[in-house]
Amino acid sequence: MARKRKGNKIDGWLVIDKPYGMGSTKVVGRCRYLTKAQKAGHAGTLDPLATGVLPIAFGEATKTIPYLVDARKTYKFTVTWGEARSTDDAEGEITHKSHIRPTGKEILTQLPLFTGKIKQKPPAFSAIKIDGKRAYDLARAGEEFEIKEREVEIFSLKLLDSSHDQASFEMDCSKGTYVRSIGRDLALSLGTFGYISMLRRTKVGSFDIASTISLEKLEELVHSAPLEETILNVVTVLDDILALAVTKEQADFLKNGGFISRECLPPSSLTGVTYKAMHGDILIALCMLDEDHLKPVRVFNL
Would you say 17 and 214 are in contact if contact means Cβ atoms under 8 Å apart?
yes
Query: Which pLDDT does position 172 carry in this prediction?
Result: 98
- Give yes or no: 17 in active site: no
Position 1 scores a pLDDT of 45
92 vs 47: CA distance, rounded Å:
13
**Longest CA–CA separation in the chain, Å:** 72
What pLDDT, on the 0 to 100 scale, is given for residue 137? 67
What is the amino acid identity at position 24? Answer: S
Asked whether the beta carbons of 13 and 236 are under 8 A apart, the reply is yes
Tens-place pLDDT, residues 145-160: 667 888 999 999 999 9
Identical fold at 12-71+206-235 and 241-299?
A: no
- Decide: 197 and 94 in contact? Cβ < 8 Å: no
Q: Which segments in the chain show pLDDT lower than 70?
A: 1-4, 125-133, 135-139, 141-146
Phi and psi (nearest 5°) for 172?
-110, 125
CA atoms of 26 and 33, how far apart (whole Å):
10
Domain 241-299 sits in CATH at 2.30.130.60
How far, in Å, CA of 17 to CA of 52, rounded? 5
d(CA 201, CA 53) in angstroms, rounded, equals 6
Rounded to an integer, what distance in angstroms lies between the CA atom of residue 85 and that of residue 197? 10
Provide the residue ranges of all domains of the chain, joining segments of one domain with +: 12-71+206-235, 73-204, 241-299
CATH (residue range 73-204): 3.30.2350.10
Q: How far apart are CA 13 and CA 225, in angstroms?
A: 17
Say which amino acid occupies 218.
Answer: L
Topology (CATH level 3) of domain 12-71+206-235: Pseudouridine synthase (3.30.2350)
Q: Tell me, what amino acid is at 216?
A: E
Q: What pLDDT is recorded for position 65?
A: 93
Q: How far apart are the first and last CA of the chain?
A: 20
Element of type H or E holding 107: helix 104-110
Q: Which of 47, 88, 89, 185 is catalytic?
A: 47
- Give DSSP secondary structure letters for 177-200: --HHHHHHHHHHHTTS-EEEEEEE
The Cα 14–Cα 203 span in angstroms is 14
Task: State the burial class of residue 245 (Cβ atoms within 10 Å of its Cβ: 0-12, 13-18, 19+).
Answer: middle
Q: How far apart are CA 49 and CA 198, in angstroms?
A: 8
Q: Please tell me whether residue 145 adopts helix, strand or coil conformation.
A: coil
